[in-house]
Amino acid sequence: MIKITENLNTVRQQILQSAENSSRDAAEICLLAVSKTRPADDLRQAYAAGQRDFGENYLQEGLDKIELLQDLDICWHFIGPIQSNKTRPISKSFDWVHSVDRLKIAQRLSAQRPENMPPLNICLQVNISGEASKSGVLPEDVVALANQILQLPNISLRGLMAIPSPCSDPEAQRLPFRAMSALLNEIRATNPTARLDTLSMGMTGDMTAAISEGSTMVRIGTAIFGARDYSQKA
């Protein structure tokens, strides 16, 4: 049996230690539990252990869990690729979207966000390593896109998200995260009144490096829930 509570406590301690080592306040760093392919009961266990933010990659699976767990006060994050024909249910059902990479998607989320709901929090996904196989806006296009999105109603651009190329060297891991921090600061410089407070970066293998370079949200899945069973993907 997966010891979700113990795993969560271990991850929280790692975040605390990483923050202390970087002279940061751990309270500034949100733990986002990546719950794709995990059954709703696993999320209930994590919730009982104090976890409130959950990230889903697959739309239908996420919508099913939102329905099953509507009795819980969960903050739902959509972190997977976004197709244009899927923006309406995303805009209606999630609190955050981390994977916006083009203006058209932002415009659709803005137009389709119900007026009676708070603005949808979004992050721009940046292809910080320039990988052809990955989604994301190129670094040189981030500032211009951010400036356009900041003009849209019903959504709130909060910051940036990235998934750098895998790397085992701790110092090399820091470089793309450092570049992400610089990009966010560049957007802030031209939009001083915007609430640009989020760097969604860092996973199980590079969380420490991400925190050292300013991450405010780490996305952790396997270290909490164990190995994923992709045969259960919706």
What digits encode the pLDDT tens for the residues 88-140?
999 999 999 999 999 999 999 999 999 999 999 999 999 998 877 788 999 99
Query: Contact at 8 Å (CB) between 103 and 82?
Result: no
Task: List the structure tokens of 153.
Answer: 């109603």
| pLDDT at res. 125 | 98
Residue 66 has pLDDT above 80, yes or no: yes
Q: How many percent of the chain have pLDDT more than 70?
A: 97
Least confident of 137-146, 162-171, 188-197, 223-232: 223-232
Every domain of the chain and the residues it spans: 4-232
181-188: average pLDDT: 98
Report the mean per-residue pLDDT for the chain.
95
76-89: average pLDDT: 97
23-65 tens-digit pLDDT: 999 999 999 999 999 999 999 999 999 999 999 999 999 999 9
141-148: average pLDDT: 97
Query: Contact at 8 Å (CB) between 124 and 161?
Result: yes
Amino acid identity at 36: K
Query: Contact at 8 Å (CB) between 54 and 69?
Result: no
Cα distances (angstroms) measured from residue 18 to each of 27, 88, 116, 164, 202: 12, 38, 39, 19, 12
pTM of the model: 0.95
Residue 11 has pLDDT above 90, yes or no: yes
SS3 state at 131: coil
Report the candidate in 169, 65, 149, 77 with the shortest Cα–Cα distance to residue 107.
149
* Residue environment code for 56-93, b if the CB has 16+ CB neighbours within 10 A, otherwise e: bbebebbbebbeebeeeebebbbbbbbeeebbebbbeb
Task: List the structure tokens of 75.
Answer: 């903050």
Query: Contact at 8 Å (CB) between 76 and 95?
Result: yes
| pLDDT at res. 92 | 98
Architecture of domain 4-232: Alpha-Beta Barrel (3.20)
